[in-house]
Chain A
Amino acid sequence: EVQLVESGGGLVQPGGSLRLSCAASGFTFSSYSMNWVRQAPGRGLEWVSYISSTSSTIYYTDSVKGRFTISRDNAKNSLYLQMNSLRDEDTAMYFCARDKTDDSSTGYYYYMDVWGKGTTVTVSS
C-alpha cells in the first residue's frame, strides 16, 4: 500500500524549532518529487515547499524562506522539514504529499496524488 506518514509535530514556543518527518512506503520514493502543504485551523490549504527526487531543485513559499529547510534521504525513504524561528502563524496541520507528473501530448502537468494524514504544529507561548 502506498503510504505517507508524518511525525514530529508538537507544541513549540515562538522562535523555537521543530523537525517534521514523512516516512514513505509502498512506492519507489527516490523516483518522486515531494511537497509539504499546511492548513491553519479553519483555513484553506497552503503549499509550503517542494523538493525534486534528487534534491537538485527546491522551492519555498515566501513566508517560510530563510526559516524552513526541506530535505530528503532517499536511502531512508524519508522527507523532512526543518522549521526554525517559528511564528504564531506557522500553527497548522502539516501534510506531506507526493508530486506526480502527467506527461501528455499537450505538456507536463503536476499534481499531488498521495497525501499523509498530517502532523500538527502549534506555535504558542
Chain B
Amino acid sequence: DIQMTQSPSSLSASVGDRVTITCRASQSISSCLNWYQQKPGKAPKLLIYAASSLQSGVPSRFSGSGSGTDYTLTISSLQPEDFATYHCQQSYITPYSFGQGTKLEIK
C-alpha cells in the first residue's frame, strides 16, 4: 500500500501570508494526487486534482505542483476563510490513501 506523509502536521500563519504544504508518497504516484480542504464539522472539499489542476470554483490563490513522490499545495495569500485542515490523497492505485492532514491555524 502507498503511504502518504504530509508536512507540517500543523501550521500557524497570518492573513496575507504565502503558505506551502508538502505531501510525500512512499512510491511514485505519477501526479495522481489530489488536495482537499476540510473545515470543522464539514465534508472535505476538492481543491486540486491531478497534482496541479484547479477544481472549478476554487480561488486561484490555491495551486498545486509536484511529480513522482513529492507534491506541494501553495496558498499564495491567505484569506480568513482558508484556515482549515488540508488533506492530500493519492488515486494512483487502490487502496486510495490520504495524508494525515495539515491543520492551518491563525497566528
Chain A residues at the B interface, C-beta cutoff of 8 Å: 35, 37, 44-47, 50, 59-62, 95, 97, 100, 102, 104, 106-107, 109-113, 115-118
Contact = CB atoms under 8 A, between A and B. Distances in A.
B92 to A, nearest CB: 9
A100 B99 CA distance: 20
B49 A45 contact: no
Given A102-B49, A106-B31, A47 B95 contact: yes
Interface stretch (B16-24, B40-48, B72-80): B40-48
Interface of B: 1, 30-32, 34, 36, 38, 42-46, 49-50, 53, 55, 87, 89, 91, 94-101
Nearest to A106: B31
Contacts of A106: 31
A107 B30 contact: yes
Contact of A115 (B45, B91, B100): B45
